[in-house]
Amino acid sequence: MRSPIEIEGLEPDELLALRDDEFETLILHGQPVAFRAGTAEVLGQFEIDRNRLVVELAHIDGGGEGVLLTLVALARRYASSRSVPEVEWMVYATNCARPNPKLLRVLRRRGYVLRTVEGKGECYYRRESIASSR
């Protein structure tokens, strides 16, 4: 069995175990945040907006070991455990300095579509409903 991809040295379960105020201070503050996930350098922004978790990924440089899938699973688990009914994804990372060549293929296979989001620009977009675990 493969070990979980760490995000800034923490496994997904450790991130989910943070208190809500810690999680909000570190991650869910609606401002850009740069972090290492596995072998990738990621620039993203995370916030709760109108009862949905909004995830924007501007850059994913490097990687290839499943960083996007780890972030998707983490976002779903976070939303489910906090009774957030939707996750909205905006991925701009297909145009970064060293994009993983598999990223575009993974996005398309997982149902992300290229679209222009008002006030945000062109990105690979997906919105999904989440069942609550509470």
pLDDT interval class at 134 (50, 70, 90): low
pLDDT interval class at 132 (50, 70, 90): confident
- Can you name the CATH fold of 12-129? Aminopeptidase (3.40.630)
pLDDT interval class at 2 (50, 70, 90): confident
Question: What residues does 90 pair with on adjacent strands?
Answer: 56, 125
pLDDT of residue 1 exceeding 70, the answer is no
The pLDDT of residue 56 = 98
Q: What is the pLDDT of residues 38-92, one digit of tens each?
A: 999 999 999 999 899 999 999 998 888 889 999 999 999 999 999 999 999 999 9
Q: Is 27 exposed, middle or buried (0-12, 13-18, 19+ CB in 10 A)?
A: buried
Q: For the chain, give every domain's residue range.
A: 12-129
Mean pLDDT, range 12-28, rounded to an integer = 93
Q: Tell whether the torsion through CA atoms of 75, 95, 111 and 109 is positive or negative.
A: negative
- What backbone phi and psi angles, to 5 degrees, belong to 37? -130, 110
pLDDT interval class at 25 (50, 70, 90): very high
Q: Among candidates 124, 48, 32, which has minimal Cα distance to 86? A: 48
Q: What is the pLDDT of residues 92-120, one digit of tens each?
A: 988 767 667 788 899 999 999 999 999 99
